[in-house]
A and B are shown apart, each in its own frame.
Chain A
C-alpha cells in the first residue's frame, strides 16, 4: 500500500497543495518497506493529483483540503485522510497503528 503525505519541513502541510512536496511511503503488512521524498510535484493541484494517480498512490494524508480536490482524488481511486496535523513521523506511526485522529 502506498501512502503519500503532503508535507513541509517534516510536518503535514496544513493546506493540500500549498506545498509541492510529498513523502511517499510503501507499507507492506503495516511495515514500512520504503520511503522517498519528492520535492517539486506539479505546478498546480490538478497536476499533483495526476502525479499521485500515475504513481499508484492508495491514500493521501493531508491537512485541510477543498471538497472539489477530495472529489478529484476519490475519482482517481485515491483515499483521502484529511484534517491531519503534526509531525510526519508521528502521523505515519499513528496510521500504521490505526490510531490516527
Chain B
C-alpha cells in the first residue's frame, strides 16, 4: 500500500524537483483542509491531520480501510464525487455535502476530488480534500437570525423600517392597517403585532373577509344563536368572541360589501356587536388589525370604500413592499425556506447554485414571498441532494424572466393586460383548475376569482378540478 507521499521521491526526476515523503506529510498536515487518498480498491492510503480532526478518526484507524467505512459522506452512494473522478478522470470542485463524524454529528463540508497518476501517467487512485464549513454555516445562521424579526425576514431598508415600527405599533393597541400586495406577508406582520403586544397570551384569530359572502361573513364574525336561521341548530360563537382579549385580523377588508362596511364601522366605533338571532349588544375587547392588497385611500376616492370606515382603520398604517422592490432579501428568504423544508422533510439541500440564483434574482414575483416559497418548494422536491440547480426550478420561471420576454411587446401593454395574460396562461397550463392556477401564481384563490371577474377572463367549460 503506497500513498501519494511515498510516490513523491520515487520519480525518475532529480530529488530537487520532488519532495521527500516526510516533508510531503508535514506539508499535507499543515493544510487547513482534510485530505485523504484511496487506491484502486478504494482503500485509504493517506489521511492527513485535518481529516483526523473533522472525522474524529485517527490516521492509524483509517489507513487500509474501505474509504466509505471511514469517511461517512452523504454522497457515498449516489453521485459519489470520488467515483466520478475515477470513472471520468475529471475533477469535482467545491461540491457541498456533509459527513457524519464519530459522535454522530453532521459536518457540512465542501469537497474537491481528482485522480492520482504516477510518473508514467497511470491512474493509481484518487484524492479528496474537504473543508469544514461548520463555522461558515453557523455564521450564516447567525446572520439570518439578525435579519429575522418575529418570523419576518428582511435586511432591506424598507423591511428594517417595518421592523422598527412593529414594537411601537404593538404597544399602542390602536387599530392597525397593513397594506401590501398578495403574498407580501400581511398575516405574518399581524401575528407579529399580536405576539409583541400585551395581548400575546390571548388568542390571535384571522379571517379572510374576501373569501366569504356577506351573510356567511357576518355569522363567522359575530356568531349566531340557535334558531337564528335555517340550519342554526346550536349557538355558535363568532370570531370576535373567539378573539376576546386578543387580536382579530381581518384580511382583504377592501372586499367586504357596503352593508358589511356599515356593520364593521359600528364595531370599530362603539366596540359592540350583535350576535345573529340576538338583540343584546355584546361588548368586545379585541384589538383589530386589518389588511388590504389594494390601497384603501384609492378605493375611498373611487367611492368603493366608506371614508369614515377608512379613517377608523387607518389609525396606524404599515406598508409592505413587493418582493421585486427588495430583491436584496431574496437570498435570505431562500435560505430560510430551505432550512425549513430540510427540517420538515429530513433532506439536506445545501443551497442554490449561482445559475439558479441568477434566475431567482431576475424574476419579478407577482405573487411575492409566497410565490418565492412555492418556487423553492418545487425545486426542493425535485432536488434529491446537494445544491438546487436551474433544472430544478419550475420550467415556466425561465420563460418569464425579463431577459426572455420581448420587452417591446411588454412595454406597449397595460398592467391590466399583463395581469390578464399571466392569469389566462396559468389557467391554460393548469387545464382550467382555478385553485392550481392560483397556487402557480402565488395568490389566494379568492384573489384569483376576483381578478377573473374584474378582468373579464373567459373560463374554460370545465373547471379542471377533476383533471388527473
Contacts and interface: CB of A to CB of B under 8 A. Distances in A.
A44 B143 CA distance: 28
Interface residues of A, number: 25
Contacts of A72: 346
Interface in B77-124: 77-78, 100, 103-106
Interface stretch (B65-73, B208-216, B424-432): B65-73
B77 A64 contact: no
A46 B68 contact: no
Given A63-B69, A64-B100, A66-B106, A18 B347 contact: no
B76 interface: yes
A20 B346 CA distance: 14
B66 A66 contact: no
A14 B384 CA distance: 18
B72 A15 contact: yes
Contacts of B66: 85
B284 to A, nearest CB: 43
B329 interface: no
Contact of A14 (B72, B345, B381): B72
A44 B347 contact: yes
Interface string A44-56: 1111010000000
B187 interface: no
Interface residues of B, number: 21
Contacts of A45: 346-347
A68 B343 CA distance: 11
Interface string A1-42: 000000010000111011100000000000000000000000
A14 B72 CA distance: 6
A72 B68 CA distance: 24
B75 interface: yes
A13 B76 contact: yes
B106 to A, nearest CB: 5
Nearest to A83: B102
B195 interface: no
Given A64-B72, A85-B66, A85-B69, A15 B100 contact: yes
Contacts of A19: 77-78
A63 B68 CA distance: 9
A37 B206 CA distance: 49
A67 interface: yes
B104 A64 contact: yes
B412 to A, nearest CB: 45
Interface in B104-149: 104-106
17 contacts: A8-B77, A13-B76, A18-B74, A18-B78, A43-B345, A43-B347, A44-B345, A45-B346, A45-B347, A46-B344, A46-B347, A47-B345, A49-B346, A63-B68, A69-B346, A72-B346, A82-B104
Interface of B: 66, 68-69, 72-78, 100, 103-106, 344-347, 381, 384
Given A14-B69, A64-B104, 16 more contacts: A13-B76, A14-B73, A15-B73, A15-B76, A15-B77, A17-B346, A19-B78, A43-B347, A43-B381, A44-B347, A65-B104, A66-B105, A67-B103, A72-B346, A85-B66, A85-B69
